[in-house]
Amino acid sequence: MDPLQKYHLIKTLHLAGAFALFASLGATLLGGSHKKSASILHGVSMLLILLVGFALLKKPPMDQYWWMVKVGLWLFIGIAPLLSKKNILPSSVVFGLSLIAALAAAYLGFNKPF
């Protein structure tokens, strides 16, 4: 497998983890009968995003800070279900903030502004 194919495969896995993350976040925030399965999918997809994200970086650029902000956004999305479960924020607000965090992470990943 040439390096470009490997890069595209890793990037596809990263995006698949993001899709699974938001599917699990929606299922967790909506409630229902499969909340435990949704929570497990949330954790697994968070781990997949983190590991594959660092595989994309290979070696984090220590002189740049955009990837550190992305880790902070990742942590926020990781605790988002807890914010709803403990009634700290309504589910709709948590989901909206999570979408904004995901858009910010995507912007940082594509543009690497700082």
User: How far lies 16's CA from each of 57, 84, 112, in Å?
Assistant: 17, 24, 21
CA proximity to 27, closest of 74, 84, 73: 84
CA proximity to 105, closest of 81, 75, 60, 62: 75
Which pLDDT band, with edges at 50, 70 and 90, does 58 fall under? Answer: confident
Cα separation of 73 and 47, whole Å? 14
What are the tokens at 16?
């698949």
What are the tokens at 29?
């925030």
The reported pTM is: 0.89
Question: In the predicted model, what is the mean pLDDT of residues 106-111?
Answer: 95
Our count of domains for the chain comes to 1
Its domain, for residue 104, covers 3-111
CA proximity to 70, closest of 83, 44, 52: 52
Cα separation of 110 and 32, whole Å? 35
Which pLDDT band, with edges at 50, 70 and 90, does 30 fall under? Answer: confident
